Amino acid sequence: MSVVTSPADRAHLSGEALPHHAQALSKPNLISVEEAKAMDVARMTDLFKAHMNPGQLHFMKLLGFHKIKVERAEGMFYIDQTGRKILDFFGGFGSLAFGHNHPRLLAARQKFQEENRHEIAIAFMSQYQAALTHNLAACSPGDLDMVFLGSSGSEAMEAAIKVAERAAGPKKPKIVYATNSFHGKTKGVLSITDGSLYRGDFRLLDNTVRVPFSDIDAIEHAFRSDPAIGTIVLETVQGGGGIITAPTPFWQKLRALCDKYGVLWVADEVQCGYGRTGRFYAFEHHGVVPDVTALAKSLGGGKTAMGAMIARRDVFMKAYGTPKSAMIHAPATFGGMGEACITSIEALNVLYDEQLIDNAASTGAYLLERLEALHEKYPKIIKDIRGQGLMVGLEFQDFSQTLPMVLRPMVSVLDDKLKGSLSGFVGALLLRDYDVLVAFTEYNRNVIRLEPPLICSRENVDTFIAALDALLGRGIVAIVKDFVKSQMG
Ligand SMILES: Cc1ncc(COP(=O)(O)O)c(C=O)c1O
């Protein structure tokens, strides 16, 4: 016998009209999962314009990215709606260390689901969070032992500046940050992200001091002249700034200055960490350890959203070490959900089992060597090659003043941001003609960012180099003409 409980059920059985407040809601016009998967590019475009960001579509169109619907993704490749395989040298800005859909990550996630494990149990301790925080401490040098889990790089960096602020104390509330920095778009870290592109005219924190990146004298001057400075935040390798780092003596002096002036050093490793440069953390190349660091991107194995702030134990305990202060920044609702944690746990195991950090170092060195050869071959087009491991920048010459007169009217149809920037043209044509995807940089439009998955092989590098060589071999004039033509079509 069934038990009828709801007013709708009772009204249905008795034939009475439902009271207004009890009427069953009709289902809105919802798209189903299967319909979403089957959606074509035209409908995606309409919905993107209607509900997401029409302006962003403008940039996708400029680069030809708007024509692609990714159907599947495996290893180093996206596979689009026509079955075309696109070699991924973009790597989700460093989020795809394992490539797409690594089988061990898929298997761990599937098993977790089949076992009906819990995702959220904020009231209880989580064995998954316990294991992941242990693993992160095990991967981190020194006493970088205390971990806060979140779901993005911005959230990890917010946690980083908060723990530092509390540990530095009320007399040292000021934060030093660098020119061309990128630390995220949430309100706190936006104040130490040095770009009008993101800042717009938002109101920012007023306790910040900007210094030129890698200028140790400017940093020392700031520390010496302002005792209220308690924290300095730097990306160890600036990604959005165009793959820029500083030499080892800089980092060693920075550590010494921080110790001398009682300033906490926060190393943002969201993009350059997690093995990308050939060490787990990029700062490990320099033999120094910061007070606080942050990871995100590949921490989720390219399958989930995971971010972590990792602090030295004494820093963390100063900030949150008593029952009174423990809850000030904990917990986050989605910080360390079950399946996300086990994905990150398995990912860290894969990172070492498959020796992907070593691969980043050796394949990265090979990529740099092959790019240097192209630099020598095309000195009028390529200005600089730089980077470490699989975090590489390729800077083109600025041709805004040198372009033949005949091409100038054509280029004027282009977006302001891309004018005079060969990287936009090269990126668009690499995708259109050679099935290769690369990334751009926020602050230097002449730089292409190469952050392929850490599973990248020498053969993948050869494919990429052959494509770039063939494209650059056309010469600047042909590249610009081809690009402008692509905009007309
Ligand atoms: C160095 C750095 N810090 C912080 C962030 C912010 O990460 P998210 O986009 O996950 O919030 C990024 C993202 O690109 C980054 O590159």
Residues 209 and 176: beta-carbon distance below 8 Å:
yes
Ligand 1 geometric centre to CA of 352 (Å)? 24
| Dihedral sign from CA coordinates of 458, 463, 468, 470 | positive
Query: Could you identify the residue written with the tokens 């104040």?
Result: 191
β partners of residue 437: 88
Ligand 1 geometric centre to CA of 127 (Å)? 27
Q: 197 is written with which tokens?
A: 């592109």
The beta-strand segments (E) located in 353-484 are 382-388, 391-396, 436-437, 439-440, 447-450
pLDDT value of residue 213: 97
Task: Mention every residue, 6+ apart, whose C-beta is less than 8 A from residue 469.
Answer: 374, 377
Residues 334 and 151: beta-carbon distance below 8 Å:
yes
Q: What angle do CA 429, 466, 85 make, to 5 degrees?
A: 60
Q: What is the pTM of this model?
A: 0.94
pLDDT value of residue 300: 98
pLDDT value of residue 2: 41
**Model confidence at 411, in pLDDT bands (50, 70, 90)?**
low
Task: Indicate if the pLDDT at residue 51 is higher than 50.
Answer: yes
A 10 A CB-CB count for 386 gives 17
Kindly report the three-state secondary structure assignment for every residue of 415-442.
CHHHCCCHHHHHHHHHHHHHCEECEECC
The Cα 46–Cα 42 span in angstroms is 6
Q: How far is CA 66 from the centre of its chain?
A: 21
Look at 147-156, 264-273, 409-418, 468-477 and tell me which has the smallest mean pLDDT.
409-418
Q: Where are the domains of the chain?
A: 70-99+356-488, 105-353
The closest residue, in CA terms, to atom 3 on ligand 1 is 183
Q: What is the pLDDT of residues 123-144, one digit of tens each?
A: 999 999 999 999 999 999 999 9
Q: Which of 270, 295, 306 to mutate to test the pocket of ligand 1 (most atoms within 8 A of CB)?
A: 270
Instruction: Say which CATH topology domain 70-99+356-488 has.
Output: Aspartate Aminotransferase, domain 1 (3.90.1150)
Q: Which atom of ligand 1 is nearest to the CA of 181?
A: 1
Eight-class DSSP state of 140: S
Ligand 1 geometric centre to CA of 130 (Å)? 25
Q: What is the pLDDT of residues 434-447, one digit of tens each?
A: 999 999 888 888 89
Ligand 1 geometric centre to CA of 385 (Å)? 23
pLDDT value of residue 410: 61
The CATH code that applies to domain 105-353 is: 3.40.640.10
Q: Which atom of ligand 1 is nearest to the CA of 189?
A: 4
Residues 227-240 have a mean pLDDT of 98
Task: Mention every residue, 6+ apart, whose C-beta is less than 8 A from residue 401.
Answer: 420
Residues 273-295 have a mean pLDDT of 98
The Cα 193–Cα 186 span in angstroms is 10
pLDDT value of residue 62: 85
Q: Which of 271, 272, 276, 298 to mutate to test the pocket of ligand 1 (most atoms within 8 A of CB)?
A: 271
Q: How far is CA 140 from the centre of its chain?
A: 20
Task: Indicate if the pLDDT at residue 238 is higher than 80.
Answer: yes
Residues 476 and 399: beta-carbon distance below 8 Å:
yes
Percentage of the chain lying above the pLDDT 90 cut: 82
Ligand 1 is surrounded, with C-beta below 6 A, by: 93, 152-154, 157, 182-184, 235, 239, 268, 270-271, 296
Q: 84 is written with which tokens?
A: 């075309």
